[in-house]
Amino acid sequence: MNIDMSQFQDTFLQEATENLEELEQGLLALESGDSADMDSIFRAAHSIKGGAGTFGFMPISDFTHTVESVLQMARDGDLEMTEDLVTALLASCDLISEMIALAKSGGDTAEVQTKDCLATLQKYENSEIPPSSDSNIESSVDTSPFDDGGAGLFLDDEWLVTFKPKPHLPLTGSDPINILRELKTLGIAKTIIHTEAVPTIDKIYPEELYFWWEINLTTDANQSEIQDIFMFVEDDADITVEKIEPKPQAQVKAAPKAKEEQKEEPVATLMDERREGEDRRKKTERRQAAAAPEQQYIRVAIDKVDNLINLVGELVTTNAMVDQHASKEEHNEDNQQQLVTALQEMSMHTRNLQESIMAIRMMPVDFAFSRFPRMVRDTANKLGKKVNLVTDGGNTELDKTVIEKISDPLTHLVRNSVDHGIESPEERAAAGKPEEGTVTLSAFYKGGSVMITITDDGKGLDKDKIIAKAIENGVITSAEGMSDTDIFNMIFASGFSTAEVVTDVSGRGVGMDVVRKNIQSLGGSVFIKSEPGQGSVFSISLPLTLAIVDAMATKVGDDIYMVPLLSIVESIRPTEDMIRKMQGSVEVLDVRGEFLPLLRLGEAMKAPETKYEGDATQAIAVIVESENEKLALVVDDLLGERQVVIKSIEKNYQSVEGISGATILGDGSVALIIDLPGVIKLSKREGRFCTITEENPPQDVTQTKTSAVTEDIS
């Protein structure tokens, strides 16, 4: 029976990526003085090494073995975890990550250049603490290895290891021979193979295993390290590790030398076998077709799966009820009522099933946050700054797709805070601040959305500098009448940068414009607050999922538009005295003393005709909030709340400004989903909309107009 190992390799590579993240986070925590479990750090490296060896990724296994050895010395107290050592270990993490990425794409992991990093790690590995000068191993063995005079003597222990795999072990993808080979790297191993369970040839199943092994192991490793060799097969084998009492002195005396003579051969043989196996894989890879697309995985809590299974069972039962009532020959009133009840139950179960399926895609934003401690450390060191990164709300959940797509925008914003926001230690000290700046990355729920904020306690945004640069670049001609929000938003303009010097970190004016575009492509928005000398806050609002949205169905003429429910504050029927005109065709709506820009959706979407034909008092004003500002959206009618599946227009047609997608209604017709930021931008450009602020109230604008307009306002 041929076993497809690729399925197990994919699983290992996914787990290796997670172990590598744990290793990196642990190293950063150690360096910053936070509590970190050295055993967990070591185990993460050991898991990568062991799994790589088991599944044939020998370059990963060999390189990680050196990393593991250095971590072992640090765990035992033989090496101090200095900043330089952490830097070397983090560099090794980068190389392991590169090899894992190559393995995922079917590339050759041996192509990664590890020589320089390996040489650095081996310097640490060879810097063992020497034994005390007054101890002499040779004389200690000759006298009495067990009395006080032998305090400087470190004799290896003997262990009896039994490894009894269950017959199905090969089906799990584990190779017991590779496990035994790795065990030999710990010391001298004398192995006895037991074959008494092998049946006659007519009863042998090729996919089952009938051997078990007994190993006498002489090693300086402890019991936990020996058991770690078997961590991937603990559930599929019976394993015991028992210490053997020391032998009499006469037999121990020659043991150290004998060990050295015997130990080299198994290790050399193992390395030769690894190289041969690697060569065979290279030849095989050359004969194979192009690598298959990388499989993506998601970890799901078992209770979510159980809930999903239960709901499917409920749906199957309800479906049977519907079929039963629908197939009856006589459709009397009682039968029709039972059918309606069954259909209502099916609708409820379908909604619950849909929500449960969506819950499976939900992941904590910590998956996105986990990359930033390392990035902040490296960027701060490069800029000569001291920066502490604080994360909060990592358990807040978002759709997996949203998390993947928001990672790059977050990277730009966090780097921007470190580079442009946080001052140098000297500048902070002169301003009476601590030399170490703080960048805080937070996530929390707000209504049905998720808010992610990036806050720094730096110098804040310089409005005058932004305005001067914007005028220089031709973004604006004057900042008169512009609010702080409008001024700050200019940093998102393409090619905009206030950096005086171009570095490899920033200054080229790329990144921030991409940030806003990517966030808006997710149906989100970003806005800025900043105080001079106090710092800045970048706030990102994101939908929980990109697949389904709760929306209000609105009618404009013969068309139906879906307005995201989370953006709606209220809906009202305007009266004539609530509508006030401004310059040109711009209007505002007075809602309980609050002036809101009024936008006629039919005009914005160029609908052929509307029911109210320009008379907003015959229509409905939907008060919505978008990008931290309110406005009144005028529509013909409200058709009720709907939960709709979003279909991309761009994939099937082209991008349409003001439209984020489409959905198919129950009658088969198509409704467009409104992108409020896009509609506002379009209307501003066409002169049908203006933002009402304290600096730009409706009264101030109209005082310079004709008396007729003034009378209209009064």
| Active-site annotation, residues | 46, 68, 416
Contacts of 237 (CB under 8 A, 6+ apart): 163, 164, 165, 166, 169, 230
Q: Give the SS3 label for residue 210.
A: coil
Q: What order do you get walking across the sheet with 449-456 strand by strand?
A: 386-392, 436-446, 449-456, 535-543, 525-531
DSSP string, 318-330: HHHHHHHHHT-S-
Tokens describing residue 652: 């099937």
Segment 471-477 long-range contacts (CB within 8 Å, at least 24 positions apart): none
* Residues 405, 518 contacting (CB under 8 angstroms): yes
DSSP string, 623-667: EEEETTEEEEEEESEEEEEEEEE-B-STTTS---TTEEEEEE-TT
Contacts of 334 (CB under 8 A, 6+ apart): none
Instruction: Name the DSSP class of 329.
Output: S
Tokens describing residue 104: 């995922």
Tokens describing residue 57: 């990724």
* Residues 563, 554 contacting (CB under 8 angstroms): yes
Q: What order do you get walking across the sheet with 212-219 strand by strand?
A: 187-194, 212-219, 157-165, 237-244
The dihedral formed by the CA atoms of 83, 85, 90 and 92, expressed in degrees to the nearest 10: 160
What are the beta bridge partners of residue 595?
Answer: 590
Please give the Cα distance from 34 to 23 (Å, whole number): 14
Contacts of 447 (CB under 8 A, 6+ apart): 566
* Residues 442, 436 contacting (CB under 8 angstroms): no
Instruction: Name the DSSP class of 565.
Output: G
What are the beta bridge partners of residue 543?
Answer: 449
- Nearest CA-CA partner of 678 in 641, 643, 626, 632: 626
Q: Tally the C-alpha atoms within 13 A of residue 10's C-alpha that lie toward its C-beta.
A: 13
Instruction: Name the DSSP class of 574.
Output: -
* Residues 91, 117 contacting (CB under 8 angstroms): yes
C-alpha distances in Å from residue 271, one per residue of 51, 53, 181: 17, 11, 10
Tokens describing residue 400: 């997996």
Residue 525, Cα to own-chain centre: how many angstroms? 20
Please give the Cα distance from 494 to 482 (Å, whole number): 19
**Are β-strands 237-244 and 386-392 bridged in parallel, bridged antiparallel, or unpaired?**
unpaired
